[in-house]
Chains A and B, each alone.
Chain A
Amino acid sequence: SQTIHQWPATLVQPVGSPLSLECTVEGTSNPNLYWYRQAAGRGLQLLFYSVGIGQISSEVPQNLSASRPQDRQFILSSKKLLLSDSGFYLCAWSVILYQETQYFGPGTRLLVL
């Protein structure tokens, strides 16, 4: 069966510090990978998606970047965090890009102070 991991689970960072969130998927090959941000109690905003190693598409302009160094590894980064980067970050994978079901990781709660 497939599983998806995210770490860390919680992160408190000062403004201006760098960020690296990691997501890994097990039990599947060549998954489509996604990074979302979620405001408290609200829907999800798609930040990035990737169809393969080194292939990243950005949905919205922002202070963040993403990378996919390995088939089942997706990393969300920032060089200098802003207060507005605080939120709940979710990684997800799917078999077919944008179609049918996406499976989510447990999420990372980021607080920028």
Chain B
Amino acid sequence: TQLLEQSPQFLSIQEGENLTVYCNSSSVFSSLQWYRQEPGEGPVLLVTVVTGGEVKKLKRLTFQFGDARKDSSLHITAAQPGDTGLYLCAGDTGNQFYFGTGTSLTVIP
């Protein structure tokens, strides 16, 4: 079983649409990160959230950390083909670091 479950696993949308990716767990995390990975490359950090209820915006991307620090969401507004990639959440419990199961996003021009 995975400590961090992401949904959906796969997502294919048209350019200009909005989408939300979820990262859920029954465990509490000290911090949570979101990464984006393109094929054949290593994951690149997008954001780190550390406070329950925290919302961070990065251009068209909005990240939210749940109040109880057990879950997070990534919302993309007006998706573009350049947003295509594998989105990974990751969290640390203070003594262990876990990666989510991943969401593969394809934005069709």
- Give Cα distance in the complex from A104 to B97, angstroms: 14
> Chain B 91-109 against A: per-residue CB contact (8 Å), 1 yes, 0 no?
0111111011110100000
Select the stretch in A69-77, A79-87, A105-113 that faces chain B.
A105-113
Q: List the one stretch of B13-21, B36-44, B55-63, B71-79 in contact with chain A.
A: B36-44
Q: How many residues of B contact A (CB 8 A)?
A: 28
A41 contacts B by Cβ under 8 Å: yes
Q: Does B33 contact A (CB under 8 A)?
A: yes
Q: How many residues on A have C-beta within 8 angstroms of the other chain's C-beta atoms?
A: 20
Q: Is the CB of B97 within 8 A of A105?
A: no
Q: Is B86 an interface residue (CB 8 A)?
A: yes
With a CB–CB cut-off of 8 A, which chain A residues contact B92? 98-100
Is B68 engaged at the interface, CB distance under 8 Å to the other chain? no
Verify A98–B104 contact, CB threshold 8 A.
no
B88's closest neighbor in chain A, by CB? A43
Complex: A112 Cα to B30 Cα, angstroms: 38
- Measured CB to CB, the closest approach of chain A to B39, in angstroms, equals 9
Q: For residue B24, give the distance in angstroms from its CB to the closest CB of chain A.
A: 14
B40: contacting residue among A46, A99, A104, A107, CB under 8 A: A107
What residues of chain A lie closer than 8 Å to B2, measured between beta carbons? 43
Is B101 within 8 A of A98, CB to CB? no
Q: In the complex where A104-B42, A105-B42 touch, is A43 in contact with B99 (Cβ < 8 A)? A: yes
- Contacts A43-B99, A99-B94, A107-B42 aside, 14 further interface pairs with beta carbons under 8 A come to A43-B88, A43-B102, A44-B88, A46-B99, A92-B42, A98-B92, A98-B93, A98-B95, A98-B96, A98-B97, A99-B30, A99-B97, A100-B48, A106-B42
